[in-house]
Amino acid sequence: MSRALIIGAGGVAGVVIHKCCQNSEVFTDICIASRTKSKCDKFKDELQGKTKTNITTAQVNADNVPELVALMKEYKPDICINVALPYQDLHIMDACLECKVDYLDTANYEPEDTAKFEYSWQWAYRERFEKAGITAVLGSGFDPGVTGVFCAYAQKHYFDEINYIDILDCNGGDHGYPFATNFNPEINIREVSAKGSYIQDGKWVETEPMEIKRVYNFDQVGEKDMYLLHHEELESLALNIRGIKRIRFFMTFGQSYLTHLKCLENVGMTSIEPIMYEGREIVPLQFLKAVLPDPASLGPRTKGKTNIGCIFQGKKDGKDKTYYVYNVCDHQECYKEVGSQAISYTTGVPAMIGAMMVLTGKWKKPGVYNVEEFDPDPFMEALNKWGLPWTENFSPVLVD
């Protein structure tokens, strides 16, 4: 018997909610709470009667800690699954501390006024979570999330030391729009328009946005252009995986997406600096978000597959070894199952699994942790069971 408070009612939340309702033995009760209560009620209306999970809904502004605390005191959740936006992370962690509720999210904290993501703010909560006897699991989506679990699994079963990791995130899906983002446009554009970076010999190496391009032939998707991006899990993996010399993250983008993005950047539409417009302050990127298609509406239109995984190079028993582990996910199949495309699906399923790990005691450890710091085996088993099966390749093509 356990109670989960799910904060947010967007694309990823929709998948978390469906998956918790499929897993009623663990998630006997869920409360969906978000800024717009009607979106929470819509999920409740859709699922009630089709699941044994008891669903309640609530309105909450997750930037307001007293409001969150009041909701937690009333609902008494065992865990809070934060699938709102990265800006809310610290507020929700504060409320969890006050109410002694375990915490899980899928993206690290980012201040709203600087596009800068790093774990320092959340790692600073370690001691307070330890003292309170509660667990925080950071970044339990796909990347970060499953990619970290893949790293822990490779380390545990196949390597004495891992020297090189390349995380490859390929979206071979086509939604038919000239330009749209697969998850929250504001977060997505902030991520891809930032400078790239990777870790080499313990130091960050910075690149211009999209400066490093490679071509890779992805299983079940085919050949795609991919670009080196900064990505949050590099920071924690470089600390938690033994023997790392270099770790990089690549994401695929089509030419049309990049051309549109460049144009929007050139005219100033991706800026997060507020400007005055007709007597009112607006943030260009937030305005852009309002005119772009809602990622939740892409579900029925998106066809094709995603392929996300990690390629490892390292040593086992003194010998060189390579290993590639990845998941392939089909946009249309996700839509049939839970009414969302694969980007939300590949994030929401691991969030449910991470919460299940904590609730069933497998990942219960007071403090603040990244996913690779826990035992990967039960999570890997759950991925196969809950819709994200993985494939291994022991002689993959490497990225130069």
CB contact burial 200-235 (16+ within 10 A = b; e otherwise): eeeeeeeeebbeeebebebeebeebbbbbbbbbbbb
Quote the least distance from Cβ 186 to ligand NDP, whole Å. 8
Residue with smaller CB distance to ligand NDP, 102 or 169: 169
Quote the least distance from Cβ 292 to ligand NDP, whole Å. 11
d(CA 40, CA 32) in angstroms, rounded, equals 6
Residue with smaller CB distance to ligand NDP, 159 or 308: 308
SS3 category, 249:
strand
Residue nearest to ligand NDP (CB): 10
In order of 141, 183, 224, 252, the CA distances from 170 in angstroms are 15, 14, 8, 5
Residue with smaller CB distance to ligand NDP, 143 or 330: 143
Residue with smaller CB distance to ligand NDP, 187 or 355: 187
d(CA 172, CA 184) in angstroms, rounded, equals 18
264 within 8 A of 270, measured Cβ to Cβ: yes
SS3 category, 131:
helix
Q: Which residues contact 225 (CB under 8 A, 6 or more apart)?
A: 213, 214, 215, 252, 253, 254, 255
Quote the least distance from Cβ 145 to ligand NDP, whole Å. 5
CA 138 centroid distance within chain: 10
Quote the least distance from Cβ 386 to ligand NDP, whole Å. 15
Quote the least distance from Cβ 349 to ligand NDP, whole Å. 10
Quote the least distance from Cβ 380 to ligand NDP, whole Å. 17
- Write down the residue that tokens 């800026």 correspond to: 271
Residue with smaller CB distance to ligand NDP, 89 or 313: 89
Quote the least distance from Cβ 199 to ligand NDP, whole Å. 19
Residue with smaller CB distance to ligand NDP, 92 or 238: 92
Q: Residue 129 has which token pair?
A: 């979570």
Q: Which residues would be at the binding site for ligand NDP (CB under 6 A)?
A: 8-13, 34-36, 39, 60-63, 83-86, 88, 106-107, 141-145, 183-184, 187, 295-296, 343, 347
Residue with smaller CB distance to ligand NDP, 243 or 300: 300
